[in-house]
Amino acid sequence: MNKEIELLAPCGTHDAFLAAIENGANAVYLGGKLFNARANASNFDLDELKEMVTYAHLRGVKIHVTLNTLLFNDELPQALDFAYDLYNIGIDAVIVQDLGLAKALREHIPHLNLHASTQMTIHNLEGVQELQKLGFTRVVLARELSFEEINDICENTDMEIEIFVHGALCISYSGQCLMSSMIGDRSGNRGKCAQPCRLPYTLLKNDEEMGKGYLLSPKDLSMLELLPKLPNVASLKIEGRMKSPEYVATTVKTYRKYLDKLIANETIEIAKEDKQNLAQIFNRGGFTSAYLLQKQGKNMMSYERPKNWGIYVGKVLAYDGKRYIKISGQEQIHIGDGIEILNGENTPPSTIVSEIEKDKIGRIHGNIHVGDEVYKTSDKELMKTARESFSRNSTRKTPITVKAVIQKDRPITLTINDFLFQTNMTAELASNKPLSKEDVAKQLTKTGESPFVIETLEIELDEGLFLPVSKLNEIRRNALEAFEKEFLKPRNILLKETLTIKENTTPRKMKSVSLCVNHLDEKLAMLNGVDALYVPLREVLKKEEMFTSLPFEKYIMLPTITKANYEKLIKRQLEHMVGLCDGFVLSNIGQLAYFKNVDTKLIANSTFNVVNNETIEQLCRLHFTKIILSPELTKEQINHLSATIPLELSVYGRQVVMTSEHCPVR
């Protein structure tokens, strides 16, 4: 296993940032005020980010900044300008969704590490390899992959691979969900997802109800018990930039504990208390391993409630109708805890317990019945412990190696790691008690509030010398201050270049009409005015003869997700398929690998989320001959796009709003 595996923690507030660092994160990810997929988090301005970089780096923690939304033409120059600022203050990487922004960053800031967001829907080895060619240094894989698939990717690439290990799941592949955008005008691709998957739905078949509830709301992922099966990835990511600092503290502390055991090759047995703490701090009806082992079906879902369930403690035994309830499991409840009574209503009675009298819990009102289930939604002591971990002075320190040389008639030197600090002080000849190595060690190891701790200390000391304690302390302070400055030595400042976006000024005219069908029918041959026909691969293989007989330019559409059986099918049938059609509609960047040496036309599907000129130019370089634009663009934005290849827009028909591994019907 990777001994340097990174534990990556979410930070939506400054307290969450401190919680992550103090509880053992190797890196944190957070957003600036613009262009990040958690627009409703507090996020941070540049001055705050600069201070946070200093604080984190002094403690050996990296900072990854999210620039992980789609960007329109008028936003790209501002995003690049912000990225210059981020690079110049020393951030370690940016997380990117937009291919056009990635192109601009690679061209203007070539030494900035680019991490491909999970919003890019990278789910196969070919996708990883294509992004490596484009200058990315890390890929955050889609959360729908199994251990076997992740392992295969890790074994066949030297790219850094990052996976999610804990936190909320989307029911759709990230980057392939338009539901919030279509029904609420709040785009998940733009950082403003309204989370329609957390709403209640009714499943109908011919107007007959087949099921109801929160049919699209998954439980949260937890990989804690699966850590021994961990693939050889570079980074483990905890989700939760919208969650509390206490959540960050609890999850990071727990994963740090068992990850350290794993790295040390110790046997891992998860303590009951640790499992309970993770569940108490946030869970949706328990946890799931999602797709890591196998598809979980309905066991992956939280049909009853979409929010934090907390811990089940018992049932209502009695209620006086005014104030007091009696419950089984009352010994688990203390003043200051939060409880909720599930009574079948959308807003069940809840309270922060402020009164406990003998066998009764007081100050709760509502429609409560004997037999209703009681959940503890927050635990005062757990929250207190979590807060204490980041509310005190920092205990997180960076270990250093120090060598002190004190010799007769020579300036005293301290070497910290590889940094040499030479003083203008010399030791005196001792007239009474000479200096001992123990005396030197006692003073040098008093690093106090410094962010460093001496892990290894070597002392070379001539006999018969003397140095006052005050001088030793002064040497230590000055040396650590000098080392800190060297440690934080700024990058060479990059001068900003303005990104010029050449927008279209010519009114657009419709030049052709393409027809996309799910099923082939002989009547299609009778249509007039159709220039090109797009047909899904599965339908072409079923009705090949009919497909080839139709009198249009014909394109085979590859599915949005190509892994496992689909991937094998495409590779096996590719040569034959090329002879059947005029070209292919590709739906993810990994599919480019199938067509390296194939002479055919390639169309980029709307699943590429193309919304700006830079992305169009990047796809042109990748030899696409046509681009189907994102349905999230406005008419004005479309008119301003400029391209040397045809652009296409979906104008009629059902819009796919989610691509999911989970089937709500089945």
Q: What SS3 state is found at 357?
A: strand
Listed range (89-103, 497-511, 649-663) with the worst mean pLDDT: 497-511
What is the per-residue burial (b if ≥16 Cβ within 10 Å, else e) of 313-341?
A: bbbbbebeeeebbbbeebebbeeebbbbb
- The CATH class, in words, for 311-391 is mainly beta
Mean pLDDT, residues 618-643 taken together: 95
Residue 507 pLDDT class (50, 70, 90 cuts): confident
> How far, CA to CA in Å, does 193 sit from each of 40, 43, 174, 181?
9, 16, 11, 8
Statement: residue 36 has pLDDT above 80: no
Reduced DSSP (H G I as helix, E B as strand, rest coil) percent helix, strand, coil of the chain, to 5:
35, 20, 45
Statement: residue 565 has pLDDT above 80: no
Statement: residue 37 has pLDDT above 70: no
Mean pLDDT, residues 211-232 taken together: 95
Percent of the chain scoring above 70 in pLDDT: 99
Q: Where along the chain do the CATH 2.40.10.170 domains lie? A: 311-391
Q: Where along the chain do the CATH 3.20.20.380 domains lie? A: 6-175+218-293
**Residues 77 and 587: beta-carbon distance below 8 Å:** no
For 449-486, write each residue's pLDDT tens digit: 899 999 999 999 999 999 999 999 999 999 999 999 99
Number of C-beta neighbours around residue 519 at 10 A: 10
Under CATH, domain 6-175+218-293 is a member of which superfamily?
Copper homeostasis (CutC) domain (3.20.20.380)
By DSSP bridging, strand 514-516 and strand 532-536 are: parallel
**Residues 630 and 612: beta-carbon distance below 8 Å:** no
Mean pLDDT, residues 383-387 taken together: 97
Q: What SS3 state is found at 55?
A: helix
**Residues 20 and 53: beta-carbon distance below 8 Å:** no
**pLDDT value of residue 358:** 81
**Residues 115 and 136: beta-carbon distance below 8 Å:** yes
Residue 39 pLDDT class (50, 70, 90 cuts): low
**pLDDT value of residue 1:** 63
Name the maximum alpha-carbon separation found in the chain. 112
Mean pLDDT, residues 561-571 taken together: 84
Contacts from 444-449 at CB under 8 Å and sequence distance 24+?
Answer: 444/402, 444/404, 444/414, 444/472, 444/476, 446/473, 446/476, 447/397, 447/476, 447/480, 449/393, 449/394
For 397-422, write each residue's pLDDT tens digit: 999 999 999 999 999 999 999 999 99
Q: Which two three-digit tokens encode residue 584?
A: 């292919």
Q: Kindly write down the DSSP assignment for every residue of 149-189, as one continuous string.
A: HHHHHHHT--SEEEEEEEE---SSPTT---HHHHHHS--GG
For 250-274, write each residue's pLDDT tens digit: 999 999 999 999 999 999 999 999 9
By DSSP bridging, strand 93-96 and strand 114-116 are: parallel
Mean pLDDT, residues 150-169 taken together: 97
CA torsion sign for 358, 360, 361, 362 is negative
**pLDDT value of residue 293:** 93
The per-residue pLDDT of the chain, averaged, comes to: 94
**pLDDT value of residue 532:** 96
Q: What gap in Å lies between CA 514 and CA 552, rounded to an integer?
A: 10
Residue 570 pLDDT class (50, 70, 90 cuts): confident
Statement: residue 173 has pLDDT above 90: yes
Percent of the chain scoring above 90 in pLDDT: 85
Q: Which two three-digit tokens encode residue 239?
A: 């989700």
Q: What gap in Å lies between CA 218 and CA 287, rounded to an integer?
A: 9
Q: What gap in Å lies between CA 84 and CA 80, rounded to an integer?
A: 6
Helix axes 380-391, 245-263, angle to 10 degrees: 80
Q: What SS3 state is found at 374?
A: strand
Q: Which helix (H) or strand (E) holds 555?
A: strand 553-557
Identify residue 162 by its one-letter amino acid code.
E
Statement: residue 643 has pLDDT above 90: no
Statement: residue 383 has pLDDT above 80: yes
Q: Which residues contact 83 (CB under 8 A, 6 or more apart)?
A: 67, 94, 105, 108, 109, 112
Q: What SS3 state is found at 599?
A: coil
